[in-house]
Amino acid sequence: MDLIEMDHLWMVHVAIQCIQTTLVNGTGENQTSEDDQQCLYFVGNSLGAQPRAVREYVNAQFETWASIGVKGHDTKISNSPLTPWQDLAEDCAKKSADLVGSSPHEIVIMNTLTINLHLLMASFYKPDAKRFKIILEWRPFPSDYYAIESQIAWHGLDPATCMIKIEPDNPKGSLISTELILKTIDENAHDTALLLLPGIQYYSGQLFDIPKITAHAKANGIIVGWDLAHAAGNVELKLHDWNVDFACWCTYKYINAGPGAIAGAFIHERYGTVDLTGDKASYRPRLTGWYGGDKSVRFNMDNKFIPTPGAAGYQTSNPSAIDLASLSGALSVFGKTCMKELRDKALVLTAYAEYLLDEIINQAQDDGRGPLFSIISPRDPLQRGTQLSVLLREGLLESASQVLEESGVLCDKRKPGVIRVAPVPLYTRFEDVWRFMRIFRKALGLEMAA
């Protein structure tokens, strides 16, 4: 038995011990009856639950606007949890540092995910006669695919020859091994300009080996970007130490900032330098806008763009103070813990969910029903986040999803046959996982467990 398997078994043991107690996880309070429970929320990988702090922070922003109007840009109200609006994006960047493993100077809060992908590809994807390809995975989230495809076409190139799509090792599977990714890099290194992969693949829930893949690509002269939509706030990241060139993430999934919330981006510090020694400011080319300009000269109105040093210099437009207030409230919750502690709990919580799913698989086999589903997420806990993707037998997706919804369970489905189950450590309890599995048995037409 190897160390990973031993760790896996240990986590299951700990989880079982936790669920057998009579206390609600992490509170020390007596559990309430099942009839008193609200719905089970296992869809934080699509939209995180609303933190109470978000309502407080957004209301504070409304109060600032109502009471002092435009002065809210540069005035701090004494009893408000918010900084002045001009400093809100910077404040959210500071609060995001632990989530992505970087200095606040390397983080910019702006726009939404796909817009940020376009803005950063405009700066980092510079195809020429020698290097023009982009390496991606075979099944990225459609928006990522569209962004990459359109960037290539924007440069007058053919996406059919410039997009190198890595397919799973097993043609019938969903997982892509690190070895295959490294091999693809080696085979295409001579003419590849950019590698752009998801930190966690949205369909399978696979966590890629970001540091190893990044190091290998950069050793071959390739710019490396990551879409961390399903990784930020979910797993530990160390973007600066891993030498990632750029990354983007949304904040409405595991970070819980609300539907369509303002997004974040990481730009390594080496790309944020501004040299003012010459007649004209020297900096990495990018698409520019007023809010990327240094605050010390932003209001000179002289049309001489001098970017803010660091990632903030990649901003374009004035960000919504309401959006920033919502994100600031959500991030304040993360300030009460750290990603290491959340990841520790997530590993055990997800292992417990996996253990119960395996029990259901075995029950169906014993009942002569055959395999009703399989878990397509990696079995190695270190190669996944909190999400377990359950591939149902053909024909079961719609009926099972309907029973789950009618029973007060929220989790999402991804065609052709996957239900994604995401026990998020910030607000999911072990009891919630146990109750979910009882209802899932019912959704599959199995007898409810005692």
First-residue to last-residue Cα distance in the chain: 32
Q: Please give the annotated binding residues for pyridoxal 5'-phosphate, written as ranges.
A: 113-114, 141-144, 227, 230, 252, 290, 318
**85-100 and 321-334 are packed helices; what angle lies between their axes, rounded to 10 degrees?**
40
For residue 287, list its beta bridge partners. Answer: none
CB 265 within 8 A of CB 123: no
CA 119 – CA 263 distance, rounded (Å): 13
CA 115 – CA 109 distance, rounded (Å): 12
Cα–Cα distances in Å, from 444 out to 64, 376, 395, 433, 436?
A: 51, 18, 11, 16, 12
With tokens 């763009």, the residue in question is 305
Q: Please give the annotated binding residues, written as ranges.
A: 113-114, 141-144, 227, 230, 252, 290, 318
For residue 334, list its beta bridge partners. Answer: none
From the list 271, 274, 281, 283, the residue with the least C-alpha distance to 304 is 281
Cα–Cα distances in Å, from 179 out to 165, 192, 208, 260?
A: 15, 18, 11, 35
Instruction: Report, in angstroms and rounded to the nearest whole number, the Rg of the chain calculated over CA atoms.
Output: 23
CB 347 within 8 A of CB 317: no
